[in-house]
Amino acid sequence: MSTGHGAIPKLSGDIRPLIPKLGLRNYWYPAIADTNVGTRKPLKVALLGEEICLFRGVTGGVVAIQDVCPHRGARLSEGVCHYRGTVACPYHGWVYDESGKNVAVLSEGPDSGVCGKPGTEAHVYPTRTLKGVVFVWIGDAEPAPIEQDVPEEFFDADALVQVGQVYWKCNWEVALENSMDSHVNYVHRNAVVVARAGFIARGAQGEHPLYVGNGFGGDVSESNYMRRSPRQDLYPNGWKWPKTNYRRFFTWLTKPLAERARRNIPPPRSARWCGGHHLPGMFRAEFGWDLYTRMCVPVEEHLTRVWYYHCTRPKNGARRLWDRLMYATLRRWIIEYNFSRQDEAVMLNQRYDTPEKLSGTDAEVIQWRKLVVTRHYGGRDAPFDYRNPDGLAPDAVPLERVSVRYLQEQARVRGRR
Ligand code: FES
Ligand SMILES: [Fe+2]
């Protein structure tokens, strides 16, 4: 079945206008944390321009149903779950079960002539709950295997995935392009997580992205861990960047801790889920204390719900508790607010409709746009024309090419021998 929107346009020049403003359809998206859905009152969530009502089915699983009542358009999410596994519309009491069937009309009684007639059924979205996150299939095609769209750690019993959510008042694609370019060490130079690990004057990385089938990873050899940039840059006119070196005193104290914390970051298990961009709207990084994902879910054209998935692999129960405690008290604030609000501040007023002059360090962003446009027009299985360095096939990219943490772990194992 084709899941696209017609012929794939030419992918040259400025293709930003071809990027769908409300995201790619026919993919799995996170909708809500399972614990937010109660048994008495339904909930509303909006994504990709869809309005969805959530309630609990007979066996407790979360059901996603269209939020507009087929009768006369009232909101099911404003109704009540009178009977187990159903939701009743607040207006005339049409009751829907978890298959979307209209099973009662409370304002007309058991003999209602319209109840269950063709046209009374509501659309139900396929859902799947993983690690406490309810994922919803958005699209008209048959759902694809969810493993293709949701990071590998969600299917791994040993992985701890902690989840956070923030809203950014910008388009999803603008939100997503805020990664794998040279901005990090500049924009975030005073963020706690960056300052503690020492200052790197340049942030450039990802000039030669590697295509891994569902997105791109950055070549390890171009990362700041392998290719040290100067601590301070000197310009011919005498300018220095950073302007002073005071922070080195601070870093001298904190850097050993930061490096220790990095050892807590689990490398991805497969190159397909390496750091970088991944469909339908993720950016992943080995960063801070965990392998983290920013999943940018379009809500409206200028509103994005950013989900954070923080993955660790605690060795035991105590460590698991520690990771939870640290995320709840400190790390959530450090990453989702202190660090990420700096991005949001820039993106809020960033223009996306004026001419651009791109740099070599924007290479990954350029390829990512091409991939999004290809999949929007050609569907989720459309072939993507990209030649990897060294002629590597997308599913043959070795982990050591795209994961610094994997390399570090290998070195540690070798050191022990
Ligand atoms: S509009 Fe929903 S029952 Fe009438
Ligand atoms: Fe950033």
Task: Note the helical H segments in 148-209.
Answer: 172-176, 184-187, 192-195
How long is the chain?
417
CA of 297 to the centre of ligand 1 (A): 29
The pLDDT of residue 252:
83
The pLDDT of residue 145:
98
Atom of ligand 1 nearest to the CA of 92: 3
Exposure string for 162-184, b = 16+ CB within 10 A, e = fewer:
bbbebebebbbbbbbbbbbbbbb
Atom of ligand 1 nearest to the CA of 89: 2
Q: Please, which residues have CB less than 5 A from ligand 2, an ion?
A: 343
The pLDDT of residue 272:
97
Q: Which ligand approaches the C-alpha of residue 75 most closely? A: 1
Residue 35's φ and ψ, nearest 5 degrees, are -65, -15
The pLDDT of residue 2:
58
The pLDDT of residue 205:
64
The pLDDT of residue 258:
86
Q: Which ligand approaches the C-alpha of residue 182 most closely? A: 2
CA of 103 to the centre of ligand 1 (A): 13
CA of 63 to the centre of ligand 1 (A): 19
Q: How far apart are the first and last CA of the chain?
A: 52
The pLDDT of residue 259:
86
Q: Which ligand approaches the C-alpha of residue 346 most closely? A: 2
Angstrom distance (rounded) from CA 134 to CA 121: 23
The pLDDT of residue 152:
98
CA of 352 to the centre of ligand 2 (A): 17
The pLDDT of residue 313:
96
CA of 137 to the centre of ligand 1 (A): 25
Atom of ligand 1 nearest to the CA of 73: 1
With a cut of 70, list the residues of the chain below it in pLDDT: 1-2, 199, 201-206
The pLDDT of residue 223:
80
The pLDDT of residue 222:
82
Domains, in order of start, for the chain: 27-138 (2.102.10.10), 156-416 (3.90.380.10)
CA of 339 to the centre of ligand 2 (A): 7
The pLDDT of residue 396:
95
ipTM over 0.90: yes
Q: Give the closest residue (by CA) to ligand 1 atom 4.
A: 92
Q: What is the best residue among 53, 67, 75, 91 to mutate for testing ligand 1's pocket, by most ligand atoms within 8 Å of CB?
A: 91
The pLDDT of residue 179:
84
Q: Which ligand approaches the C-alpha of residue 106 most closely? A: 1
Burial of 316 (0-12, 13-18, 19+ CB in 10 A): exposed
Contact 155, 149 (CB under 8 A): no
Residues contacting ligand 1 via CB (< 6 Å): 69, 71-74, 89, 91-92, 94
